[in-house]
Amino acid sequence: MEKIFSQLSATIIPRAPRIDFNLECSCSNSCEKVLETLFENDEKITFEESFLTFNLPIYPNNVSEETKNLYHELRSIYSTILVNRELSLENRLLHIGKVFENIHQA
């Protein structure tokens, strides 16, 4: 799947740079082709880090270091839950919902 996804993402699947909390890029999950690619393949989804270059101006943002740190902490928690294959997808999503609920109640 990685090879197929890499080929698709290089030519078809829209990717968007995210610059507010971290310099990163992700596919658009609202894109039908992304979802079709993910759902048509039985292999487990994987994540990879790679260096990408965009010819875009990067403007300073007003996100505080505290907010950036919180973003990274939460992202780490969510990633850990999502890749835990010992739980069903349904249970992983429920766990993420509980994390959101606990944050909301705090």
Tell me the pLDDT tens digit for each residue of 57-93.
Answer: 767 778 888 988 988 899 899 889 988 889 988 999 9
pLDDT score at 38: 72
CB atoms < 10 A from the CB of 29, how many?
Answer: 8
d(CA 58, CA 29): 23
Burial of 34 (0-12, 13-18, 19+ CB in 10 A): buried
Chain length of the chain = 106
Between 72 and 31, where is the model more confident? Answer: 72
Question: What's the whole-model pTM score?
Answer: 0.58
Dist CA 71 CA 24 (whole Å): 13
Backbone φ and ψ for 12, nearest 5 degrees, come out as: -115, -50
